[in-house]
Amino acid sequence: MVEPLIKDYSSTGRKGYSLPELDVPTTETESLLGQEFIRKEGPGLPEVSEVDVVRHYTELSSMNYGVDSGIYPLGSCTMKYNPKINEDISRLEELVNLHPYQEDNQVQGSLEIMYSLQEDLKEISGMDSFTLQPASGAHGEFAGLLIIRNYFLDRGEERTKVIVPDSAHGTNPASGTMAGLEVVEVESNEKGMVDPDKLREVVDDQVAALMLTNPNTLGIFEEEILEIAEIIHDAGGLLYYDGANMNAIMGYTRPGDMNFDVLHFNLHKTFSTPHGGGGPGSGPVGVKGFLAPYLPRPLLRKEGIRYYWDFDLPKSCGKLHAFYGNYGVMLKAYAYIKALGGKGLKETTKNAVLNANYLKARLSKEFELPYKKSSLHEFVLSGSKQKKKGASTLNIAKRLLDYGLYAPTIYFPLVVKEALMIEPTETENIFTLDNFVEKMLIISREIEKDPDLVKNAPHNTAVKLLDEARAAREPDLRW
């Protein structure tokens, strides 16, 4: 059953409020606004009762799917469950009813929280200094590359290139271009990792940085990372760490120990804040000590027992966000880290890797696994075998909706044809994992018997199969 529009509940004279009789003098609206601003006809709003409104929007909310509804296996996104205590803390009146431009001495508690978060991120990452300012992972990438650019300009070097692997997140080359650098792609080898020999072929004295995710978007740890770092550093360049996949190594190793010079965290991925639909996000950037002067201004510092904002940064790459960053996301990340502690964060990593490898072991018997190298928190299958039988990866994703499940990331990374990129995170239990596997196997068997059934999915959702090209060009916004 399709939920009607709110206007379809309308009945003349029905309303959801009761106001007392007017007991003050009235003034004609025209005398206040002018005739040209007065409606000639009513706005045509639906006339509905309170219960009509509540039932309508409750029904609409039940049609949504989120991490509170079930597994959200989006590879590379780390859509982990957000403990409700984090939400409660982020809504404490003493924290939310502050103005970000209050004097430092009036908000020492909040500054202490932010400073403590910085210190925790330094310990987790192996970096020496942090800014919490960037509003997302991509914003953090941009900030990191500006820091690198300013560092070289300060040294009198005009380096123009940034190297990006062919399996990188799409934001990596975009951030490089935004920072005014030429993006140079380096190919992966047959194991799905950066090939040091191919890297040497593209490295020269114009390279400012290599942007790398480790483990990479295939879920594979770059075993040659120390050699890779040496190649870049010997050429005078710097190593940038995309922190999107920190959920795979947290507590076991640190980017700083791998000789990375700059990194960004995705607080909204690694430390539980739910994200999607454009926000919320937070992408703190950490650097080794020699790059600290180039961080965005202001920096949060501590002197004795006092916390303060330091604006005196003549070599800074500039201010990159209104106020001091997305404070609400920081509060949730702070609560998550403090609740788990070091041992808990390490346990999180272990369970994330275990869950992913359990799914991979069961699904790779039915779906093609292009890269056999051991993976960590996520893995990439291919739907090529199923496509040959009549249904594509997109069709599989749509059919999953019929079974009440959210689909994994599809068609990314580009190095895998018909890619299905799956990341279950640590919060899913064995029953949820088995249910996901069962539905994937059922769909594969459906393709064997009746590929058109899958090809025309979804069948059970409010919105059925769309002509996606037409929908993008001729959206019908009336429904």
Q: What is the DSSP string of 221-273?
A: --TTHHHHHHHHHHTT-EEEEEETTGGGTTTT--GGGGT-SEEEE-HHHHT--
Q: Are residues 121 and 240 in the same domain?
A: yes
Between CA 200 and CA 208 the distance in angstroms is 14
At 40 the pLDDT is: 85
The pLDDT tens digits for 47-97 are 999 999 999 999 998 888 888 889 999 998 899 888 999 999 999 999 989
Q: Quick one: pLDDT band at residue 140, thresholds 50, 70, 90? A: very high
Task: Give the domain-ending residue among 288, 305, 340.
Answer: 340
| Residue 74, in any domain of the structure | no
For tokens 């601003």, name the residue.
37
Element at 62 (helix H, strand E): helix 50-62
Between CA 175 and CA 285 the distance in angstroms is 14
Q: Are residues 234 and 358 in the same domain?
A: no
Total structural domains in the chain? 3
| Residue 73, in any domain of the structure | no
Q: Are residues 459 and 310 in the same domain?
A: no
For tokens 């190095």, name the residue.
415
Which long-range contacts does 300-308 make (Cβ < 8 Å, 24+ apart)? Answer: 300/111, 300/114, 300/115, 300/118, 300/132, 300/324, 302/115, 306/104, 306/105, 306/108, 307/104, 307/108, 307/111, 307/112, 307/114, 307/115, 308/104, 308/111
Q: Quick one: pLDDT band at residue 1, thresholds 50, 70, 90? A: low
Q: Are residues 98 and 179 in the same domain?
A: yes
Q: Are residues 400 and 270 in the same domain?
A: no
Residue pair 147/291 in contact (Cβ under 8 Å)? The answer is yes
Residue 186 has pLDDT above 90, yes or no: yes
Q: Are residues 225 and 256 in the same domain?
A: yes
Q: Are residues 242 and 100 in the same domain?
A: yes
Task: Give the domain-ending residue among 286, 317, 340.
Answer: 340
Element at 130 (helix H, strand E): strand 129-131
Return the SS3 of 421.
strand
The pLDDT tens digits for 342-388 are 999 999 999 999 999 999 999 999 999 999 988 999 999 999 999 99
Q: Are residues 144 and 221 in the same domain?
A: yes
Residue 206, domain CATH: 3.40.640.10
| Residue 79, in any domain of the structure | no
Q: Are residues 401 and 378 in the same domain?
A: yes
Q: Are residues 13 and 161 in the same domain?
A: no
Q: Are residues 222 and 284 in the same domain?
A: yes
Residue pair 382/369 in contact (Cβ under 8 Å)? The answer is yes
Return the SS3 of 290.
helix
| Residue 252, in any domain of the structure | yes
Return the SS3 of 152.
helix
For tokens 């999180």, name the residue.
348
Residue 133 contacts by C-beta under 8 Å, 6 or more apart in sequence?
Answer: 143, 284, 285, 296, 319, 320, 321, 324, 325
| Residue 479, in any domain of the structure | no
What percentage of the chain has pLDDT greater than the value 90? 82
Q: Which two tokens stand for residue 379?
A: 């893995």
Residue 238 has pLDDT above 60, yes or no: yes
Between CA 479 and CA 477 the distance in angstroms is 6
**DSSP, res 107:** -
Q: Are residues 207 and 265 in the same domain?
A: yes
Whole-structure pTM value:
0.90
At 256 the pLDDT is: 98
| Residue 36, in any domain of the structure | yes
| Residue 72, in any domain of the structure | no
At 278 the pLDDT is: 60
Residue 471 has pLDDT above 90, yes or no: no
31: β partners: none
β-sheet with 379-382: strand ranges across: 379-382, 419-422, 409-410
Query: What integer is the mean pLDDT of 399-417?
Result: 95
Buried b (16+ CB within 10 A) or exposed e, 263-295: bbbbbbbbbbbbbeeeebbbbbbbbbeebbbbb
The pLDDT tens digits for 284-293 are 999 999 999 9
Which residues constitute the domain of residue 431? 348-473
At 8 the pLDDT is: 93
| Residue 75, in any domain of the structure | no
Task: Give the domain-ending residue among 301, 318, 340.
Answer: 340
Residue 398, domain CATH: 3.90.1150.10
